[in-house]
Structure 1
């Protein structure tokens, strides 16, 4: 049956799904799918039924296609290879694959059909990339590379790639707009995981645009993909600016060195039962109004107001001038730790790891040094002219020609007060 006959066949019933007056033969989208019925039927055969049945069919088909040296299997060899499967179930799987043209029998031996091998190869690629966070980007990039290598039509694959890149851009913009440190870090990690696919996609686009015979619409689509990749390449700087803003607003709990982000991260790791236990005595379903407006408090405030005499024609002249009291000098802030740390950083001649610079004299002082390095990094990145014109130990510290680099990784320390520290380094500006 041809594709046109298949679409118009009343037994198929395509007309029941279309609007009145629309003929299935007038839709080019349906015509393309109708011509690919054998391939679509193969995937229908594989993925129809329960999850256990689907996994079993994919397993058997993949193992049969994996042996390239001996592509034909006798029934005895198949039973020996799949001895862990019930013989009746195995025979049911083989019969279904054979009846739907995924397997064929030649001289009483099983082998993959052409459609079965194509389906097996497509599944193998998807399974290979399934460990990545964004399997779609890797699969689409590989698909474009394959089509380009055999001079195939890359139009649909380029459209899908552009859609995926735009989806990633919107996801990253939403993470930045949320202002959540945890969402921004997770989005940044996702961007790093897709970095290799973005680089390979850029190389593929260069090769594609170098073709002088490339149609105009295809070249325009490739340029739009290039712009989308450029936006993703710049989003890392946006992540850093958002994290710097969050860093400037972070609150440290007293002199403990524990910040509000540490508390939020700890709370996110608790389950619902632990959170309910923490809030058991801290929250009330409604405020206790008796504490806010009790009888005694109301009487104490009303009595002096009611018993006070009217002011009448009181004198409104200003009091005689008097010398302003001399206020005592405010207590000076102890900046000895900052000055010693600044002298230590200024004496560096090469890169030094944070694990060598930060620890010492307990957790509180180490946290203070870490916060000073974060402040120094932000001042160097922003280039604030107020820092250059400032005076005092803090301004001198912020003008140090020191670069600070943080990462998202941790390393353990053999220290009684500090269990782990961020991996990073400080180095004199201009040093490699």
Structure 2
């Protein structure tokens, strides 16, 4: 009794409410997109009972899926009776552990794959379960036939639906998509120029053509059906065009193979070609074993790169020049031209700017304001007048003021960093009446009283 109540509680927890399911689904979509507004979501939600059946069968690891399908197929394949008592099931599936069998039966029963008749105390396989098993068995059977073109299942679905008058546009679009995939695959094989890939694709093409011939009659029936809607006719016509494109690729395969045949290299008079050698090499899993005992000493390849070639050429060129210089003698000496070095222009400008800022740092040169306020001057008043280049150079040095890492060094920039002046920039601009500079960022140079007192 306790186990039954526990299973019921777990089932209640595993079955969320409709609102919870809607919220969980909406979490996968953009906030401004409602899931119910998408057409495919509507169709899939209508098929929720069937999709839950597949979830019940294929959820979890492969071992659990295999056992569920095994139990369901064993019961569905027994055509002698339509109902099974628990004793019959235990006898038929005696090779399974009782605990595992009980778990599988509970899962199949709770997901409408098995129906429990309480009055007769028997299990029955539901019609939905037989439909699902039929679809799975059809797919498994086609895979066992090694359908490399993978069109058999899609075509069988179209043929079966056409036979009962229920072919859908989605089924035709799946077949059309597979035909387009095959066409693109064959074109890539032809463009590759690989003989082995071409021959493998050609074999697959022949198999696809067999399915095309079988499907032509189905397509003719669909296009001649007056009850079919416009979308169905349009999809069938598109499949016909894709089939024609696929059938016309025979000439492309032949031309590509003929081109490879003309370019094939034969080894002397032996009759062997590079294709034969490649095919023979592909038959060996470990190519390194072929070299055992064939090479006594390892091969020592020598490589030369452009760098080494340049070095050799340069050595030869210099040696020729040296020999010519020795034969012709040393050239006569000449006096070096005399030049006057007045110092770099930027260094002179830096010295002038340092002297100007040092003059600003003197207490008596700042404008008189309230005694409790810091002494300050606008940056544009200190940078100008000057040319645009000089003003820009001066402005680039302002961030060095107060830089401790720069002040610990030596040189003119270090002296600039040690000045008791603080640079305070802002984001606003000020318009200037200057011939070189039209506007400049608003900033101030203020005297750092603490540093000034220390210097004194």
Instruction: Tell me which interval the TM-score lies in, with the shorter structure as reference length.
Output: 0.5 to 0.7
Question: Out of 94, 99, 106, which is 2:110 matched to?
Answer: 99
Q: Give the Å deviation of 1:191.
A: 1.7
Distance 2:290 2:54 in 1: 48
Larger RCO, structure (CA 8 Å, separation 6 or more): 1
- Change in 2 beyond 3 A, CA 1:48/1:193: same
Cross-structure match for 2:283: 269
- Change in 2 beyond 3 A, CA 1:286/1:141: farther
CA contact under 8 A between 2:169 and 2:231: conserved in structure 1? no
Q: Give the Å deviation of 1:232.
A: 1.4
Structure 2: state its 5+ residue gaps: 1-15, 325-456
Task: Give 1:371-410 correspondences, 5 Å limit.
Answer: none
Secondary structure, in 3 states, of the residue corresponding to 1:105?
strand
Q: Give the Å deviation of 1:71.
A: 2.4
Cross-structure match for 2:343: none
- Change in 2 beyond 3 A, CA 1:85/1:273: farther
Distance 1:162 1:145 in 2: 14
- With normalisation by structure 1, the TM-score equals 0.62
Secondary structure, in 3 states, of the residue corresponding to 1:256?
coil
Distance 2:235 2:227 in 1: 15
Cross-structure match for 1:287: 303
Distance 1:120 1:284 in 2: 64
Question: Out of 42, 55, 63, which is 1:44 matched to?
Answer: 55
Q: Does 1:128 pair with 2:141?
A: yes
Q: Does 1:224 pair with 2:230?
A: no
CA contact under 8 A between 2:265 and 2:273: conserved in structure 1? yes
Secondary structure, in 3 states, of the residue corresponding to 2:27?
helix
Secondary structure, in 3 states, of the residue corresponding to 1:110?
strand
Secondary structure, in 3 states, of the residue corresponding to 1:271?
coil
Distance 1:109 1:284 in 2: 80
Q: Give the Å deviation of 1:74.
A: 2.2
Distance 2:299 2:154 in 1: 51
CA contact under 8 A between 2:159 and 2:218: conserved in structure 1? yes
Q: Give the Å deviation of 1:6.
A: 7.3
Cross-structure match for 2:185: 171
Task: Give 1:169-318 correspondences, 5 Å limit.
Answer: 169-272=183-286, 274=288, 277=291, 287=303
Q: Give the Å deviation of 1:73.
A: 2.0
Query: Aligned-residue CA RMSD in angstroms?
Result: 3.2
Question: 1:240-284 CA deviation, whole Å, 9 max, x = no partner?
Answer: 221111111111111111110011112222335527948987876
Distance 1:228 1:88 in 2: 53
CA contact under 8 A between 1:8 and 1:24: conserved in structure 2? no
Q: Give the Å deviation of 1:150.
A: 1.6
Distance 1:70 1:208 in 2: 39
Q: Give the Å deviation of 1:125.
A: 0.8
- Change in 2 beyond 3 A, CA 1:217/1:6: farther
CA contact under 8 A between 1:140 and 1:157: conserved in structure 2? yes
Q: How many residues are aligned here?
A: 295
CA contact under 8 A between 2:281 and 2:287: conserved in structure 1? no
Question: Out of 12, 15, 18, which is 2:26 matched to?
Answer: 15
- Change in 2 beyond 3 A, CA 1:80/1:12: farther
CA contact under 8 A between 2:149 and 2:207: conserved in structure 1? no
Secondary structure, in 3 states, of the residue corresponding to 2:115?
strand
Q: Give the Å deviation of 1:203.
A: 1.1
- Change in 2 beyond 3 A, CA 1:71/1:262: same
Question: 1:46-79 CA deviation, whole Å, 9 max, x = no partner?
Answer: 1111111111111211221122332222222222
- Change in 2 beyond 3 A, CA 1:10/1:108: closer
Distance 2:237 2:31 in 1: 40
CA contact under 8 A between 1:38 and 1:115: conserved in structure 2? no
Distance 1:237 1:275 in 2: 41
Distance 1:32 1:22 in 2: 17
Question: 1:309-344 CA deviation, whole Å, 9 max, x = no partner?
Answer: xxxxxxxxxxxxxxxxxxxxxxxxxxxxxxxxxxxx
- With normalisation by structure 2, the TM-score equals 0.59
Q: Give the Å deviation of 1:286.
A: 6.0
Task: Give 1:405-420 correspondences, 5 Å limit.
Answer: none
Cross-structure match for 1:332: none
- Change in 2 beyond 3 A, CA 1:69/1:151: same
Q: Does 1:77 pair with 2:93?
A: no
Distance 1:70 1:224 in 2: 47
Secondary structure, in 3 states, of the residue corresponding to 1:20?
coil
Q: Does 1:31 pair with 2:42?
A: yes
Secondary structure, in 3 states, of the residue corresponding to 1:17?
coil
